[in-house]
A and B are shown apart, each in its own frame.
Chain A
């Protein structure tokens, strides 16, 4: 599990890596949330390019970030989702909450 944060102007990008499950979600969530609190972005990008596995804990993470961003009116984009992860995100209907791009 890894999270790398990049801040450019009002955009925070979180590059997620490794396996995203119930065991790793908490640490990922905390890293993302502290970057959002610190930088108050108008756009949060979650980059899934290097995520090798994700179950519904990852869906919970995306939905939770979406709910937090609603408070400030910021947008959420999901980028780079590999095929299996894209399939999970579609199953959850995430494209209704966030711009969703596959790899």
Chain B
């Protein structure tokens, strides 16, 4: 598979950057001519991963950095890596279970479930004390050209 385009973005882990990250990925993914639903799926998955960096990795305190890299590939797919240098995840399997959350109250524990349902693949690698990387891909369905 060939990479046809790429961008990288480093952001401070501020909640105001959640919408900024979504807007960037959405503008980039537009090059694959996705449907409104596909764009919305990608934005939502990115929002989940970025929010997790802010809420969990850096505990809404340390203004750590979020590293986003996105690739367009020649099979009309997008690959997105979202990395933090925060606390890491001790038990990835448990973290990915629907409804599991380590912070009670107002969190549903559905972030990973949303990423898995809206993207084709989601990979999580994490080292406690070092950080977490989420790698997600989604293939954009080819559309029949109106012009023939």
Contact = CB atoms under 8 A, between A and B. Distances in A.
Interface of A: 19, 21-23, 25, 29, 53-57, 59-61, 63-64, 83-84, 88, 91-92
Given A19-B19, A23-B16, A91-B113, A55 B105 contact: no
Contacts of B47: 21, 53, 55
B22 A53 contact: yes
16 contacts: A21-B19, A22-B18, A23-B18, A23-B19, A29-B106, A53-B43, A53-B44, A55-B111, A56-B48, A56-B107, A57-B51, A60-B107, A60-B108, A61-B106, A91-B110, A92-B108
B124 to A, nearest CB: 16
B131 to A, nearest CB: 19
A5 B55 CA distance: 29
Contacts of A92: 108, 110
Nearest to B55: A22
Contact of B114 (A22, A23, A91): A91
Contacts of A88: 44, 114
Contact of B106 (A19, A25, A84): A25
A22 B111 CA distance: 12
A55 B15 contact: no
